[in-house]
Chains A and B, each alone.
Chain A
Amino acid sequence: MTQYKRLETTFLGVKFENPVMLSSSPVSNTGEMVGRSFDAGFGGVVFKTIGAGKEKIIHPGPRMAGYDYHADRLVGLQNVEQISDRPMADNLADLAYLKKNWPTKVVVSSIMGFTKQEWRDLAKASEDAGADMLELNFSCPHMTVEGSGMKVSHAQALVGEFTAEVKNATGLPVLAKLTPNITDITETARFAKEGGADGLTAINTVQALSGIGLDDLTPRPNVAGKGAMSGYSGPAVKPIGLRCISQLAQAGDLGLPLSGCGGIETWIDAIEYLLVGSGTLQITTGVIHYGYRIIEDILEGMDFYLADRGVDSLDDIVGKALPNIVPTDQFDLTSQGVADYDLDRCVGCGQCHIVCHDAAGQCLGWDETQRRPVMHEDKCLGCMICSFVCPVASPPMIQYRVVPGKPEILPPVSR
């Protein structure tokens, strides 16, 4: 397994060979599985969430459903998975097994209590088992008991109270894992900080309904005739994850290290999460889709990117995009432009003409003889939707071109 010097980092005082961990989910369910992920290259694990065992955990069947776009599989993943259904003792034994056999890897214990006592007990037990860190699951969207999972985040004060219990019970660094299913994720984060959290993880899954069966009139997954508004993950939620991490990173009063997750599949996704302020990263759906082997290209790709930019440590790029993320009223509106066509490369499908006509400025005519679009630049809004549908996309034959002094374009009144 290749070691990447540039990818080493320290997060919440714990040393990481690389910042990419399995997130708490089916992919981190057992010691044997996680061991193989370490061998494949993952830098750490947030182990499948451990409960106190008072409630018997039974996973619904089936527990997941894929969301496809046309022929692309698993653009998103819907799940009604519960926390670990294994005996607490087995999970703790596996934590110890991992630390014993992979001492350089970081083992984070994800815990979920229903009472303050349970939170304390779980934290202490995890510490005794050798965990390097704790992650408090305040965000599972499938919990129905008040004061558990995502409902902790909704009753915001509990976030602080439970975090404080854990902090008092152990000396381990503590991450609070937050839900995006809330108006302002930074508010929950402030309660976590008040309770003493050392860092934050975001996002847990987005509460969603990814599909309704047209024959059975039931959401997916169909669990014996019923479905639930439940957790949605994968590439489809990456934009929401990036937004939440950016909000947490830009909230000046927080200042907590962040562990980013939500739809990471390639090194590009990983770098994006770093650029908006994540210090470490977590992955589940990518592994559910492709297996642990995806870590190879994530790490190698990140290392090539850093090398290409002459950066010696990933720490140097964390948050580097944040100054460029602004409210819309800070845009320079004097800069305007148009869609610039390289017609030599056009194949003549006319999709640009159709969408400009129906969804933009009607600036693209159509030459029926040549089968090519005809640009009337004086009507081009510069919205670029034509470039989104153009099949000549690598590199794009339609590019944005700034036009200094471009006059304002206002469509005339219809008559």
Chain B
Amino acid sequence: MEPGLTMNQALAEASRCLLCHDAPCAAGCPASTAPDLFIRKLRFRNLKGAAKVIKERNIMGGVCAVVCPTCSLCAQGCTAAGLDEPIAIGALQRFIVEHAWNIGFNPLEAGEPNGHRVAIVGSGPAGLACAADLAKAGYSAVIFEKQAAAGGMLQYGIPNHRLSREFLERELEDVRALGVKFRLDTAVESQADLDRLGADGFEAVFVATGAWHCATLNVAHRDGSGLVDGLTFLMEAKEDKDELRAGLTGKEVLVVGGGDTAMDAAVTAKRAGARDVSIVYRRSFVEMPGSPGEKRLAMDDGVHFVILTQPVDYVITDGKVTGARVVRTRLGDPDASGRRRPENLPDTEHTIAADLIIEAIGLEPAPTIRHLDALTIGDGERIQVNEDMRASADLPIYAGGDAVRGASIVAKAVRDGKAAAAAIRRDLEGELKKELGR
């Protein structure tokens, strides 16, 4: 990770803030982290107060600060842009959170135990946010995590150059400090598993299992050599840098896709020693869904951008993927997403050779989500919920994050976790009142 701001840099940046009467930045944060408040508190040297604002509202305040695409959220409406450039809100947020860590200040406290028990499935940002809010209200919150380490996509899907394990670990400490329990290596992926939670005394379940299933252009070769999906590549890269470096040094790598996973994979491959890394994308640069910061980073690292180019299949030699067959495209009329649709140009098919092709063309919840019979699964394998994050009309099951939205940003997962915690509290404490009244 790049180093954060120093105290003086943060104060200088905060002094650029116009302290708006009706701060547009505040409205732009899905997690309601209140940048207007924490920047003002920083400006008036109330650093503890600033940290309190962030961490009380967003338990993942540190992670969000470093991975959030602020330019399309809080910073998008920043009034200072009318003078020069938007305030570096993410950088200030990171400074405040790290400052609090450095001085050992933790503004969060677990609530007086109220006897309620809630199970959370998945330890990504949605699950963590839900668990933290419940713990603050006195709940016993237990997170069940299939993987060996907590954090979900933050732990496995975001490369170290954007979010280091040490940084994430420090933020997870704040969750543990609230008394949230983690059951690692413990999958909850069948209706029987869910039923068992009820039998174990959990009164509600929040399902936040994320979106871990990668789309592919060629199912037949998914497990063949020379072809890997972006998430698997990033997970392996996170585990063992040396092995990755040995495998990639001097190699030609193609990355298919234009989102942040594609950018992360491309930068990771380049930094691991690949000779050339090319991102192949079927529309043009501005249509790429990757955030501007990540696209910029990939460019600065020397990743090639092969735009207006559509892969149609892979070249397979002796059972190994050795290249991609591609055609050139042009942009037609906008599609449902509002972006102009790519149209293949005739007689342009050609082959790009590659030692490794990384597919990063979309993530969705794994098909195994359908094993949870109590849930209704909609388009893109997404769990259907009502406005209270309730995923079942009969049972106290709630869901949020990427499992509901499809692949999205951390701040929105945090929003869902907070909303689910609020709904769970309303439901359970309402019942408690009923019981007491009886």
Q: Could you tell me which A residues sit within 8 Å of B by CB distance?
A: 70-71, 347-351, 353-354, 366, 368, 371, 391-392
Determine if A71 and B11 form an interchain contact, defined as CB atoms under 8 angstroms apart.
yes
Question: Which residues on the A side are within 8 Å of B79 (C-beta)?
Answer: 347-349
Q: Indicate whether A71 sits within 8 Å of B20 (C-beta atoms), given known contacts A347-B79, A348-B82, A349-B79.
A: no
Question: Which residues on the B side are within 8 Å of A348 (C-beta)?
Answer: 20, 79, 82
Question: Which residues on the B side are within 8 Å of A354 (C-beta)?
Answer: 21
Question: Which residues on the A side are within 8 Å of B9 (C-beta)?
Answer: 71
Question: Which residues on the B side are within 8 Å of A350 (C-beta)?
Answer: 20-22
Determine if A391 and B15 form an interchain contact, defined as CB atoms under 8 angstroms apart.
no
Identify which of residues 1-20 in chain B touch chain A, using a CB-to-CB cut-off of 8 Å: 8-9, 11-12, 14-15, 18-20
The complex places the Cα of A353 from the Cα of B20 at a distance, in Å, of 10
Determine if A391 and B83 form an interchain contact, defined as CB atoms under 8 angstroms apart.
yes
Q: Indicate whether A70 sits within 8 Å of B15 (C-beta atoms), given known contacts A350-B22, A351-B21.
A: yes
The complex places the Cα of A353 from the Cα of B83 at a distance, in Å, of 18
The distance from the CB of B81 to the nearest CB of chain A, in whole angstroms, is: 8
The distance from the CB of A91 to the nearest CB of chain B, in whole angstroms, is: 38
B21 to A, closest residue via Cβ: A350
Question: Which residues on the B side are within 8 Å of A349 (C-beta)?
Answer: 18-21, 79
Interface readout for B19-35 with A: 1 if CB under 8 Å, 0 if not?
A: 11110100000000000
Which size bracket describes the interface of B in this complex? 10 to 19
Q: Indicate whether A347 sits within 8 Å of B82 (C-beta atoms), given known contacts A70-B11, A70-B15, A71-B11.
A: yes
Determine if B12 and A71 form an interchain contact, defined as CB atoms under 8 angstroms apart.
yes
The distance from the CB of B105 to the nearest CB of chain A, in whole angstroms, is: 16
Question: Which residues on the B side are within 8 Å of A70 (C-beta)?
Answer: 11-12, 14-15, 43
Q: Indicate whether A368 sits within 8 Å of B22 (C-beta atoms), given known contacts A70-B12, A348-B82, A392-B83.
A: yes
A366 to B, closest residue via Cβ: B21
The complex places the Cα of A368 from the Cα of B27 at a distance, in Å, of 14
The complex places the Cα of A368 from the Cα of B83 at a distance, in Å, of 20
Q: Indicate whether A353 sits within 8 Å of B21 (C-beta atoms), given known contacts A71-B11, A347-B83.
A: yes
The distance from the CB of A407 to the nearest CB of chain B, in whole angstroms, is: 29
Question: Which residues on the B side are within 8 Å of A366 (C-beta)?
Answer: 21-22
Q: List 16 A-B contacts (CB under 8 A).
A: A70-B12, A70-B15, A71-B9, A71-B12, A71-B15, A347-B79, A347-B83, A348-B79, A348-B82, A349-B19, A349-B20, A350-B21, A350-B22, A351-B18, A351-B21, A368-B22
Question: Which residues on the A side are within 8 Å of B8 (C-beta)?
Answer: 71
A350 to B, closest residue via Cβ: B21
Question: Which residues on the A side are within 8 Å of B82 (C-beta)?
Answer: 347-348
B11 to A, closest residue via Cβ: A71
The complex places the Cα of A71 from the Cα of B20 at a distance, in Å, of 20
The distance from the CB of B103 to the nearest CB of chain A, in whole angstroms, is: 13
The complex places the Cα of A347 from the Cα of B11 at a distance, in Å, of 22
The distance from the CB of A45 to the nearest CB of chain B, in whole angstroms, is: 34
The complex places the Cα of A347 from the Cα of B85 at a distance, in Å, of 12
The distance from the CB of B393 to the nearest CB of chain A, in whole angstroms, is: 39
The complex places the Cα of A350 from the Cα of B11 at a distance, in Å, of 21
The distance from the CB of B98 to the nearest CB of chain A, in whole angstroms, is: 18
The distance from the CB of A247 to the nearest CB of chain B, in whole angstroms, is: 35
B45 to A, closest residue via Cβ: A70
The complex places the Cα of A351 from the Cα of B18 at a distance, in Å, of 7
Beyond A71-B12, A351-B20, A366-B22, 10 additional pairs, beta carbon < 8 A:
A70-B12, A347-B80, A350-B20, A351-B19, A353-B21, A354-B21, A371-B22, A371-B24, A391-B18, A391-B83
The distance from the CB of B276 to the nearest CB of chain A, in whole angstroms, is: 43
Interface readout for B101-141 with A: 1 if CB under 8 Å, 0 if not?
A: 00000000000000000000000000000000000000000
Of B19, B21, B80, most A-chain CB atoms within 10 Å: B21
The complex places the Cα of A391 from the Cα of B82 at a distance, in Å, of 10
The complex places the Cα of A351 from the Cα of B19 at a distance, in Å, of 7
Question: Which residues on the B side are within 8 Å of A371 (C-beta)?
Answer: 22, 24
Of A368, A371, A391, most B-chain CB atoms within 10 Å: A391
Question: Which residues on the A side are within 8 Å of B11 (C-beta)?
Answer: 70-71
Question: Which residues on the A side are within 8 Å of B15 (C-beta)?
Answer: 70-71
The complex places the Cα of A313 from the Cα of B276 at a distance, in Å, of 68
The distance from the CB of A30 to the nearest CB of chain B, in whole angstroms, is: 32
The complex places the Cα of A392 from the Cα of B80 at a distance, in Å, of 10
B9 to A, closest residue via Cβ: A71
The complex places the Cα of A70 from the Cα of B44 at a distance, in Å, of 9
The complex places the Cα of A244 from the Cα of B63 at a distance, in Å, of 55
The distance from the CB of B368 to the nearest CB of chain A, in whole angstroms, is: 48
The distance from the CB of B174 to the nearest CB of chain A, in whole angstroms, is: 26
The distance from the CB of A390 to the nearest CB of chain B, in whole angstroms, is: 10
Question: Which residues on the A side are within 8 Å of B22 (C-beta)?
Answer: 350, 366, 368, 371
Of A70, A348, A349, A391, most B-chain CB atoms within 10 Å: A349
A-B interface, 4 closest residue pairs, ranked by CB to CB distance from nearest: A350-B21, A347-B82, A71-B12, A349-B18
A345 to B, closest residue via Cβ: B82
The complex places the Cα of A71 from the Cα of B42 at a distance, in Å, of 12
Identify which of residues 64-90 in chain B touch chain A, using a CB-to-CB cut-off of 8 Å: 79-80, 82-83
Identify which of residues 379-414 in chain B touch chain A, using a CB-to-CB cut-off of 8 Å: none
Question: Which residues on the A side are within 8 Å of B80 (C-beta)?
Answer: 347, 391
A70 to B, closest residue via Cβ: B15
Question: Which residues on the B side are within 8 Å of A353 (C-beta)?
Answer: 21
The complex places the Cα of A371 from the Cα of B20 at a distance, in Å, of 10
The complex places the Cα of A348 from the Cα of B82 at a distance, in Å, of 9
The complex places the Cα of A354 from the Cα of B79 at a distance, in Å, of 16
Question: Which residues on the B side are within 8 Å of A71 (C-beta)?
Answer: 8-9, 11-12, 15
The complex places the Cα of A162 from the Cα of B22 at a distance, in Å, of 63
B44 to A, closest residue via Cβ: A70
Question: Which residues on the A side are within 8 Å of B24 (C-beta)?
Answer: 371
The distance from the CB of A346 to the nearest CB of chain B, in whole angstroms, is: 8
Question: Which residues on the B side are within 8 Å of A392 (C-beta)?
Answer: 83
The distance from the CB of A369 to the nearest CB of chain B, in whole angstroms, is: 11
The distance from the CB of A353 to the nearest CB of chain B, in whole angstroms, is: 5
The distance from the CB of B308 to the nearest CB of chain A, in whole angstroms, is: 37
The complex places the Cα of A348 from the Cα of B11 at a distance, in Å, of 23
A349 to B, closest residue via Cβ: B18
A373 to B, closest residue via Cβ: B21
A69 to B, closest residue via Cβ: B15
The distance from the CB of A351 to the nearest CB of chain B, in whole angstroms, is: 6
The distance from the CB of B19 to the nearest CB of chain A, in whole angstroms, is: 6
The distance from the CB of B40 to the nearest CB of chain A, in whole angstroms, is: 12
The distance from the CB of B96 to the nearest CB of chain A, in whole angstroms, is: 16
The distance from the CB of A371 to the nearest CB of chain B, in whole angstroms, is: 7
Determine if A347 and B12 form an interchain contact, defined as CB atoms under 8 angstroms apart.
no
